[in-house]
């Protein structure tokens, strides 16, 4: 027998997919353990990052420790910059091409899956044949596929070409047409109207551009979901589990028709690839594969059940067995016209059932629980998919009803707590729904991949190579692998991430506000914008309107005004959701004929002390901190100028609604009931801020904004440091998603006044 290193000594291998899981492990073994080989790596450049840059970054990973990037790039490793969409002529003198690249998502959009797994393979094998003709030699083409390429079969699955009559050219062209049709359908009047209606219902009060952007987001998401669904259903009607296995089967047929008659071809079909058993070290894994999301969710207590058949075989294979098999296959070319097939699987001779795998995972978490996980993890009873589906539907309905209830609840910490709980439940249900839909066919499979060819190939290894290069999965002790190798490896990454998130939460929940950068000489100005109602003080513009307006009326007038507001309140609520500006115009019409001088005297004498007492101490400290840092402070409110009078000395600028005035016959200033300009709300706030920043030369990336309502999202997104203050539920959710600070500035009247700057208190005592 010949040692594997000798079989591959002097060989030049062309690799695709080296930045992926399998390709990276393959490159590592070639560079570290097979020094006699030379490698050409196809790498797609990215914007601002060349193919060589990507390889150098890859070689800095721990598994390449000891590999000198400059040395290998100068001698053994050549970077071939290209994309499978347009593969140029391959280098000469190639001995083996190993095609690892591909779309490995279980649920891709149909056109992208065909572009990568079918057309990309077609272009590559054509270049392989061209290169073979130029060098008068036959290049061994090794195609890495999947064991599940046979589709929804039962029983033994042999190592040979999949028996089907589906034409890959017809299906690829049809997939493109379907994708294009869905894109066109999304732009019909009916769909566009629906997308905009839904967006306006959710974001209309922030402004038309915000609603339009959300409508386009909904359209794009609809297109993707419809393209995925179309591909999924087409795959299932032809007997495959999903688009992934369907297009991988079509890719194999490309290889069989185009390459196999003319050059040596081997097809390697791994099953579910998981962490390493031995090489490069036990437990090595990159990213989350098939089992990891389920393992981690179970360990957190977030996976109460799973629709798997307890006696189905979970066919798992360690990554190093896959790599070892690929390299031995590469060293053993078959004759042209007789493609060889190899299943790198475990289910035939060393099966582990889903229930056994689950019990090992449960035992691991029993000994090594996640911090914060329930004391008792769920016990899976495997009740069947139908029962789990019913439970899932009930949960999804409950979440929808909870969302509707939240929309009716006044903003409060209790409402935000409810939103947190509801969002957590929604994420769990979405997770279960996604993985139930994707993995159910795999975890209920009644098939067994034969691996006679693979075992026979393994037995041709030199006995001295078996320990380092073996790929007989019968040696895997599943108890040891799951409990002592795989679970510790995948949870170690998550435990580190959890610690980072814990520290972030502590930082965000700390009562100490973030440090502000002081504006120095020569620095661009920095703005700090504060909303009023709901942010600096509790309540709404309706509250302040009632207080001011009713003060100007006698008893009968107050009754009439209450009646007017009661009649118009439903319409105002609807208008506020559609267009906050229209709502404010309608509300402020009630100021018609008010004596503005008398109103201002009432504000100064009565409202000012009350308003100042309502401003929370944390809010005051924050305003003063910005002023001390040299920032330009701005009070921005949709309320009228008169209500801002007590706060003018706190801010460098006040932006508010101005009531139009007229002089009566006695020369007194009276409100007409109209405004001098449109109220500054929603997107207009962000527009004002950007314009003001241009005028001042201010740095918006260094600026701050504080607001409480979803309608202020455009304003908050316009600055580099947004803060949600006692937010409504939609803003609370947006802030959590964007990782903005969320604070609650609660006023305590006596404490508040004690913290007010003396220059403010002096004018109102």
Is the residue at 517 inside a domain? no
Q: How many Cα atoms within 13 Å fall on the side-chain side of residue 111?
A: 15
Nearest-angstrom CA–CA distance, 244 and 235: 9
pLDDT band at residue 263 under the 50/70/90 scheme: very high
Residue predicted with more confidence, 464 or 388: 464
pLDDT of residue 415: 81
CB atoms within 10 A of CB 357: 22
CA distances from 371 to 379, 422, 432 (A): 19, 22, 22
Edge to edge, what strands does the sheet with 632-640 contain?
653-657, 632-640, 527-531, 704-707, 721-725, 742-743
Inform me whether the pLDDT recorded for 251 exceeds 60: yes
Choose the weakest-confidence range: 442-446, 480-484, 546-550. Answer: 442-446
Is the residue at 192 inside a domain? yes
Is the residue at 511 inside a domain? no
Residue predicted with more confidence, 193 or 404: 193
pLDDT of residue 505: 63
Is the residue at 509 inside a domain? no
CB atoms within 10 A of CB 472: 20
Is the residue at 518 inside a domain? no
Question: Residue 656 is inside which H or E element, if any?
Answer: strand 653-657
Tokens 């390299």 belong to residue: 327
- Output the average pLDDT for the chain: 86
Q: Residue 748 CA to chain centroid, in angstroms?
A: 40
pLDDT band at residue 507 under the 50/70/90 scheme: low
Q: Specify whether 287 is located in the same domain as 378.
A: yes
Q: What percent of the chain has pLDDT over 90?
A: 48
pLDDT by residue (tens digit) across 547-572? Answer: 777 777 777 777 777 777 777 666 65
Nearest-angstrom CA–CA distance, 742 and 244: 41
Is the residue at 512 inside a domain? no
pLDDT of residue 569: 66
pLDDT by residue (tens digit) across 523-556? Answer: 899 999 999 988 998 887 877 877 777 777 777 7
Phi, psi of 349 (to 5 degrees): -115, -10
Buried b (16+ CB within 10 A) or exposed e, 545-578: bbbbbeebeeeeeeeebeeebeebeeebeebbbe
Q: Specify whether 296 is located in the same domain as 337.
A: yes
Structure tokens at 105: 């998502």
Question: Residue 455 is inside which H or E element, if any?
Answer: helix 452-458
Q: Specify whether 607 is located in the same domain as 694.
A: yes
Q: Specify whether 267 is located in the same domain as 404.
A: yes
Q: Specify whether 293 is located in the same domain as 369.
A: yes
* Span 348-357, average pLDDT: 91
Choose the weakest-confidence range: 105-114, 256-265, 647-656, 683-692. Answer: 105-114
Identify whether the C-beta of residue 30 lies closer than 8 Å to the C-beta of residue 469: no
Nearest-angstrom CA–CA distance, 419 and 406: 7
Nearest-angstrom CA–CA distance, 305 and 381: 7
Identify whether the C-beta of residue 139 lies closer than 8 Å to the C-beta of residue 131: yes
Q: Specify whether 492 is located in the same domain as 574.
A: no
Q: Phi-psi region for residue 201, left (φ > 0), alpha (ψ -120 to 50) or beta?
A: alpha
CATH classification of the domain holding 21? 3.40.50.720
pLDDT of residue 267: 97
pLDDT band at residue 750 under the 50/70/90 scheme: very low
pLDDT of residue 764: 41
Is the residue at 571 inside a domain? yes
pLDDT band at residue 80 under the 50/70/90 scheme: very high
Q: What percent of the chain has pLDDT over 70?
A: 93
pLDDT band at residue 753 under the 50/70/90 scheme: very low
Identify whether the C-beta of residue 481 lies closer than 8 Å to the C-beta of residue 279: no
pLDDT band at residue 23 under the 50/70/90 scheme: very high
Choose the weakest-confidence range: 64-73, 100-109, 223-232, 644-653. Answer: 100-109
Choose the weakest-confidence range: 100-114, 339-353, 498-512, 577-591. Answer: 498-512
pLDDT band at residue 577 under the 50/70/90 scheme: low
pLDDT band at residue 749 under the 50/70/90 scheme: very low
Buried b (16+ CB within 10 A) or exposed e, 96-132: bbbbbbbbbebbbbbbbbbbbbbbbbbbbbebbbebb
pLDDT of residue 755: 42
Q: Residue 246 CA to chain centroid, in angstroms?
A: 26
Q: Specify whether 686 is located in the same domain as 711.
A: yes
Nearest-angstrom CA–CA distance, 195 and 558: 43
pLDDT by residue (tens digit) across 670-729? Answer: 989 899 998 888 889 999 999 999 999 999 999 999 999 888 999 999 999 999 998 988
Is the residue at 221 inside a domain? yes
Q: Which of 182, 216, 237 is the last residue of a domain?
A: 237
* Span 295-305, average pLDDT: 86
Structure tokens at 687: 């527009």
Identify whether the C-beta of residue 403 lies closer than 8 Å to the C-beta of residue 418: no
Nearest-angstrom CA–CA distance, 259 and 106: 26
Q: Which of 237, 252, 279 is the last residue of a domain?
A: 237
pLDDT by residue (tens digit) across 389-440? Answer: 788 888 888 888 888 887 777 777 788 888 888 888 888 888 777 777 767 6
pLDDT of residue 759: 43
Inform me whether the pLDDT recorded for 511 exceeds 60: no
Structure tokens at 214: 């959300």
pLDDT of residue 666: 86
pLDDT band at residue 760 under the 50/70/90 scheme: very low
Nearest-angstrom CA–CA distance, 450 and 561: 84
Inform me whether the pLDDT recorded for 443 exceeds 70: no
pLDDT of residue 758: 45
CA distances from 411 to 535, 733, 741 (A): 12, 13, 17
Nearest-angstrom CA–CA distance, 25 and 95: 20
15 SS3 class: strand
Three-state helix/strand/coil letters over 731-760: HHHHHHHHCCCEECCCCCHHHHHHHCCHHH
pLDDT band at residue 748 under the 50/70/90 scheme: very low
Identify whether the C-beta of residue 422 lies closer than 8 Å to the C-beta of residue 401: no
Q: Specify whether 480 is located in the same domain as 618.
A: no
- If 0-12 CB within 10 Å is exposed, 13-18 middle and 19+ buried, where does residue 520 land? exposed
Q: Specify whether 229 is located in the same domain as 275.
A: no
CATH classification of the domain holding 552? 3.40.50.1000
Q: Phi-psi region for residue 100, left (φ > 0), alpha (ψ -120 to 50) or beta?
A: alpha
Q: Phi-psi region for residue 239, left (φ > 0), alpha (ψ -120 to 50) or beta?
A: left
pLDDT of residue 504: 67
Q: Which of 450, 469, 502 is the last residue of a domain?
A: 502
pLDDT band at residue 765 under the 50/70/90 scheme: very low
DSSP state letters, 121-145 = HHHHHHHHHHHHHHTTS-PEEEEE-
pLDDT band at residue 575 under the 50/70/90 scheme: low
Provide the domain limits for residue 182: 173-237
Phi, psi of 162 (to 5 degrees): -70, 135
Q: Specify whether 636 is located in the same domain as 663.
A: yes
Residue predicted with more confidence, 319 or 418: 319
Q: Specify whether 266 is located in the same domain as 202.
A: no
* Span 208-217, average pLDDT: 90
* Span 159-166, average pLDDT: 93
pLDDT of residue 723: 94
Tokens 């005004």 belong to residue: 561
Q: Specify whether 573 is located in the same domain as 561.
A: yes
pLDDT of residue 374: 86
**Number of compact structural domains in the chain:** 3
Tokens 């801010």 belong to residue: 651
Inform me whether the pLDDT recorded for 1 exceeds 80: no
Choose the weakest-confidence range: 142-151, 240-249, 540-549. Answer: 540-549
265 SS3 class: strand
């Amino acid at each position: 027998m010949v040692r594997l290193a000798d079989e591959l000594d002097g060989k030049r291998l062309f690799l695709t997919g080296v930045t992926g899981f399998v390709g990276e492990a393959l490159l590592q073994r070639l560079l570290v353990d097979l020094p006699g080989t030379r490698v050409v790596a196809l790498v797609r450049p990215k914007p601002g990052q060349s193919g060589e840059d990507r390889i150098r970054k890859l070689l800095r990973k721990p598994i390449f420790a000891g590999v000198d990037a400059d040395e290998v790039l100068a001698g053994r490793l050549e970077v071939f910059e290209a994309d499978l969409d347009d593969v140029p002529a391959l280098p000469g003198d190639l001995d083996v091409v190993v095609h690892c690249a591909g779309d490995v998502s279980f649920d891709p959009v149909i056109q992208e899956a065909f572009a990568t797994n079918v057309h990309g393979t077609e272009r590559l094998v054509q270049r392989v044949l061209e290169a073979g003709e130029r060098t008068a030699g036959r290049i061994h083409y090794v195609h890495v596929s999947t064991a599940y390429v046979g589709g929804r079969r039962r029983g033994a699955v042999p190592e040979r070409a999949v028996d089907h009559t589906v034409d890959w050219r017809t299906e690829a062209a049809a997939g493109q047409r379907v994708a294009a049709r869905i894109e066109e359908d999304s732009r019909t009047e009916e769909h566009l109207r629906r997308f905009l209606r839904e967006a306006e219902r959710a974001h209309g009060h922030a402004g038309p551009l915000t609603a339009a952007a959300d409508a386009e987001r909904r359209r794009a998401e609809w297109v993707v979901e419809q393209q995925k669904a179309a591909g999924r259903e087409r795959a299932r009607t032809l007997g495959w589990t999903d688009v992934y296995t369907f297009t991988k089967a079509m890719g194999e047929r490309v290889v069989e028709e185009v390459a196999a008659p003319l050059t040596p071809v081997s097809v390697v079909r791994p099953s579910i690839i998981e962490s390493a058993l031995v090489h490069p070290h036990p437990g090595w894994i990159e990213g989350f594969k098939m089992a990891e999301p389920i393992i981690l969710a179970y360990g957190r207590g977030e996976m109460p059940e799973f629709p798997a058949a307890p006696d189905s075989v979970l066919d798992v294979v360690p990554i190093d067995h896959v790599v070892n098999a690929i390299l031995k296959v590469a060293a053993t070319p078959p004759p042209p016209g007789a493609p060889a097939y190899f299943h790198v699987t475990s289910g035939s001779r060393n099966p582990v059932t889903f229930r056994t795998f689950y019990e090992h995972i449960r035992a691991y978490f029993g000994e090594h629980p996640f911090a914060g996980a329930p004391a008792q993890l769920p016990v899976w009873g495997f009740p069947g998919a139908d029962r789990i589906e019913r439970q899932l539907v009930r949960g999804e309905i409950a979440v929808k009803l909870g969302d509707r209830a939240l929309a009716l609840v006044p903003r409060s910490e209790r409402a935000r707590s409810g939103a947190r709980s509801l969002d957590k439940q929604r994420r769990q249900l979405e997770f279960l729904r996604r993985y139930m839909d994707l993995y159910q066919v795999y975890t209920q499979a009644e098939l067994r991949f034969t691996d006679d060819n693979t075992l026979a190939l393994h037995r041709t290894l030199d006995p001295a190579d078996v320990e380092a290069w073996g790929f007989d999965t019968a040696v895997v002790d599943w108890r040891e692998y799951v409990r002592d190798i795989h679970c510790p490896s995948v949870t170690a990454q998550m435990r580190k991430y959890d610690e980072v998130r814990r520290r972030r939460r502590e930082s965000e929940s700390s009562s100490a506000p973030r440090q502000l950068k002081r504006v120095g000489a020569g620095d661009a100005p920095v703005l700090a914008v504060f909303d009023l109602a709901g942010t600096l003080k509790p309540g709404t513009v309706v509250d302040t309107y009632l207080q001011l307006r009713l003060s100007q009326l006698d008893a009968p007038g107050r009754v009439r005004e209450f009646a007017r507001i009661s009649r118009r309140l439903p319409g105002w609520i609807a208008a506020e959701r559609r267009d906050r500006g229209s709502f404010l115009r309608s509300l402020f019409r009630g100021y018609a004929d008010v004596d503005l001088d008398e109103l201002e005297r009432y504000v100064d004498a009565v409202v000012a002390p009350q308003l100042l007492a309502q401003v929370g101490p944390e809010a005051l400290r924050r305003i003063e901190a910005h002023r001390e840092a040299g920032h330009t402070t701005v009070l921005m409110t949709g309320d009228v100028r008169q209500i801002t009078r007590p706060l003018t000395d706190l801010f460098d600028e006040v932006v508010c609604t101005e009531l139009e005035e007229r002089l009566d016959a006695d020369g007194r200033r009276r409100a007409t009931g109209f405004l001098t300009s449109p109220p500054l709300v929603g997107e207009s706030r962000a527009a004002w801020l950007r314009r003001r920043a241009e005028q001042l030369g201010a740095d918006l990336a260094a600026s701050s904004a504080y607001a409480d309502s979803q309608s202020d999202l455009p304003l908050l997104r316009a600055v580099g440091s947004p803060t949600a203050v006692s937010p409504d539920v939609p803003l609370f959710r947006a802030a959590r998603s964007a990782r903005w600070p969320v604070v609650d500035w609660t006023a305590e009247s006596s404490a508040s006044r004690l913290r007010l700057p003396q220059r403010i208190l002096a004018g109102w005592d």
